[in-house]
Chain A
Amino acid sequence: MPLLAIEGLSACYGRLKVLQDVSIDVEKGGVVALIGPSGSGKSTLLRALVGLTKPTSGLVRFGDETIRYDSAASLRAARRRMSIVFQQYNLFQNMTVLRNVTVAPVMVQRRARATVEAEARDVLAKVGLAGKHAAYPDQLSGGQQQRVAIARALMLRPDLLLLDEVTAALDPELVGEVLDTIRTLAAGGMTMIVVSHEMGFVREVADTVVMMDGGKVIEAGTPAELFDHPKTERAGAFMAKVRRP
Chain B
Amino acid sequence: MDYVLQFGQVAGQVPYLLGGAVVSMELAVISFGLGAVIGLACASLQAYGGRVARGVAGAYVGLFTNTPAFIQIYFLFNGLPEVGVLLPPFAAAAIGLTLVAGAYLAEILRGGFASVRRSEVEAAEVLGMSRLQTIQHVVVPHLLRTLFAPLSGFFIWMVLGSSISALIGVEELTGRAINVSSATLRSIEVFLVAAVIYVGLTIAATALLAGVGRFAFRVRMKVI
Chain A positions near chain B (C-beta within 8 angstroms):
50-52, 76, 79-80, 83-84, 86, 88, 90-95, 103-104, 107-109, 136, 152, 156
Contact pattern, B 115-135, Cβ under 8 Å of A = 1, otherwise 0 = 001011011111111000100
Q: Judge whether B133 and A92 touch: CB under 8 Å.
A: no
A192 to chain B: closest CB distance in Å?
A: 16
Q: Judge whether A107 and B120 touch: CB under 8 Å.
A: no
Q: Judge whether A108 and B122 touch: CB under 8 Å.
A: no
- Residues of A close to B119: CB separation below 8 A: 86, 88, 90
A sample of 10 more A-B contacts (CB under 8 A), given A90-B117, A104-B129, A156-B127, is A50-B126, A52-B125, A80-B128, A86-B123, A90-B119, A93-B142, A94-B142, A94-B145, A107-B133, A108-B129
Q: CB < 8 Å: which of B120, B126, B127, B133 contacts A93?
A: B120
Top 7 A-B pairs ranked by shortest CB distance?
A90-B123, A94-B141, A104-B127, A108-B128, A90-B119, A50-B126, A79-B128
Q: Which of B128, B129, B133 has the most CB of A within 10 A?
A: B128
Given A93-B142, A108-B127, A52 and B122 contact (CB-CB distance below 8 Å)? yes
Q: CB < 8 Å: which of B133, B138, B218 contacts A136?
A: B218
- Residues of B close to A103: CB separation below 8 A: 127, 129, 137
B124 to chain A: closest CB distance in Å?
A: 8
| Contact residues of B between 138 and 169, Cβ < 8 Å to A | 138, 141-142, 145
Question: What's the Cα separation between A122 and B138 when bound, in Å?
Answer: 25
Q: Which of B120, B126, B141 has the most CB of A within 10 A?
A: B126
A140 to chain B: closest CB distance in Å?
A: 14
Q: Judge whether B126 and A92 touch: CB under 8 Å.
A: no
Describe B's contact surface by its main secondary structure: helix
**Can you list 27 A-B pairs, Cβ within 8 angstroms, ordered by A?**
A50-B126, A52-B122, A79-B126, A79-B128, A83-B127, A84-B126, A86-B122, A88-B119, A90-B119, A90-B122, A90-B123, A91-B120, A91-B123, A92-B120, A92-B124, A93-B117, A93-B120, A94-B138, A94-B142, A94-B145, A95-B137, A103-B129, A104-B129, A108-B127, A108-B128, A108-B129, A136-B218
Question: What's the Cα separation between A118 and B120 when bound, in Å?
Answer: 25
- Residues of A close to B128: CB separation below 8 A: 76, 79-80, 104, 108-109, 156
- Residues of A close to B218: CB separation below 8 A: 136
- Residues of A close to B133: CB separation below 8 A: 107-108
Select from chain B the residue with minimum beta-carbon distance to A152. B127
Select from chain B the residue with minimum beta-carbon distance to A52. B122
Select from chain A the residue with minimum beta-carbon distance to B124. A92
Q: Judge whether A107 and B137 touch: CB under 8 Å.
A: yes
| Contact residues of B between 99 and 124, Cβ < 8 Å to A | 117, 119-120, 122-124
Q: Judge whether B129 and A107 touch: CB under 8 Å.
A: yes
Question: What's the Cα separation between A52 and B138 when bound, in Å?
Answer: 18
Contact pattern, B 184-224, Cβ under 8 Å of A = 1, otherwise 0 = 00000000000000000000000000000000001000000
B141 to chain A: closest CB distance in Å?
A: 4
B44 to chain A: closest CB distance in Å?
A: 21
- Residues of B close to A152: CB separation below 8 A: 127
Q: Which of B127, B137, B138, B142 has the most CB of A within 10 A?
A: B127
Question: What's the Cα separation between A51 and B126 when bound, in Å?
Answer: 8
